[in-house]
Amino acid sequence: MTSTQVCFDAQVSRIVRAEREHAFILGALTLQADLEDGGTNRAGFIAQFADAWLEEFESMPTWVAFGDDGSAVGFVQTNWVSKLPSLRRPTTGWVHVKKVFVTPAARGNDLAEQMLRAMIAWGTTNGIERYQLTARPPARSLYERLGFTAPDERLMELRPAAVSSAR
With a CB cutoff of 8 Å and minimum separation 6, the contacts of 161 are none
Low-confidence ranges of the chain (pLDDT < 70): 1-12, 151-152, 155-167
pLDDT at position 89, please? Answer: 73
pLDDT at position 13, please? Answer: 74
Task: Work out the burial of residue 45: count CB atoms within 10 Å of its CB; fewer than 13 is exposed, 13-18 middle, 19 or more buried.
Answer: middle
pTM for this prediction: 0.82
Domains and CATH numbers, the chain: 3-166 (3.40.630.30)
pLDDT at position 160, please? Answer: 63
